[in-house]
């Protein structure tokens, strides 16, 4: 997916049965449900995946950490991609890929005719090939260690996307929230260079149109709108603020 622009959203708060359809109508090609910071479990994610079935949108999930139990379970319930936070080394990246791919590519355990293959029957070889090719593996670069090793991480076969975790990255670089700091900007250049060198997609969560267009210009091609609750708050406040300061109509007193 390197170079191909893919647009979607991330969901942190509103796990409504209608969310996948709403995001599809908004033009999202994928939706990533967050498990790292939200406290939701696999039952919630499985319901969201089921609601996306039959729609032209790919359901994915950010797991809490890059461990087999999180990754394989997320794929088994039907997620078509996993985002892994705080990938720090090539060894971690290889372990993540191994957990997400069936043999001979990886070591994912097999259970067919379940949610991940829509409960359908069919040859196991075909299902393995389809899953290994379809399921996206996104490695988040958001620590000083991940940044230091980004070229080696990007070189790992089976890592499809490098995704910048911008807040955490500034935190671990000692400049929390300073997105105009040269240290952060240099880090972005280093990550983009590694992604381009190894033919990986580049991902980013954009809070508004300025962030989206700025990062697209930098070479990020997998962009997500979010956060969902932040966008709702912004939309509501804009409507209410438009009338908040208007003079109130005086009531006509009866004589």
The residue with tokens 């958001």 is 142
Inter-residue contact 203 to 220 (CB < 8 Å): yes
Nearest alpha carbon to residue 79 among 124, 137, 122: 137
Which among 37, 116, 166, 229 is annotated as catalytic? Answer: 37
**How many C-beta atoms lie closer than 10 Å to residue 151's C-beta?**
15
β-strand partners of 223: 7, 204
* All residues at 6 or more sequence positions from 129 whose CB lies less than 8 Å from its CB, including other chains: none
Nearest alpha carbon to residue 153 among 96, 106, 81, 78: 96
The residue with tokens 């622009």 is 5
For the chain, what is the largest distance between any 2 Cα atoms, rounded to a whole number of angstroms?
Answer: 89
Helix (H, G, I), strand (E, B) or coil at 183: helix
Is 37 considered catalytic here? yes
Residue ranges of E strands in 12-57: 30-34
Which active-site residues does the annotation give? 37
């Amino acid at each position: 997916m390197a170079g191909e622009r893919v647009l979607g959203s991330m969901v942190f708060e509103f796990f409504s049965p209608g969310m996948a359809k709403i995001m599809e109508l908004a033009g999202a090609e994928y939706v990533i449900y967050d498990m790292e910071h939200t406290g939701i479990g696999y039952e919630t994610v499985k319901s969201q995946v089921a609601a996306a079935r039959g729609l032209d949108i790919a359901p994915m999930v950010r797991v809490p950490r890059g461990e087999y139990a999180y990754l394989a379970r997320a794929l088994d319930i039907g997620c078509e991609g996993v985002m892994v936070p705080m990938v720090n080394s090539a060894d971690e990246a290889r372990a993540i890929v191994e957990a997400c791919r069936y043999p001979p590519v990886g070591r994912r355990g097999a259970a067919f005719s379940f949610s991940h293959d829509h409960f359908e029957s069919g040859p196991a070889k075909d299902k393995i090939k389809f899953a290994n090719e379809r399921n996206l593996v996104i490695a988040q670069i958001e620590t000083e260690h991940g940044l230091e090793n980004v070229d080696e991480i990007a070189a790992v076969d089976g890592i499809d996307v490098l995704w910048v975790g911008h807040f955490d990255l500034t935190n671990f670089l000692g400049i929390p929230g300073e997105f105009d700091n040269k240290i952060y900007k240099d880090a972005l250049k280093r990550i983009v260079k590694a992604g381009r060198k190894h033919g990986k997609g580049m991902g980013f969560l954009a809070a508004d149109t300025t962030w989206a267009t700025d990062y697209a210009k930098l070479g990020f091609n997998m962009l997500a709108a979010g956060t969902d609750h932040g966008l709702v708050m912004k939309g509501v406040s804009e409507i209410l603020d438009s009338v908040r300061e208007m003079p109130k109509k005086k009531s006509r007193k009866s004589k």
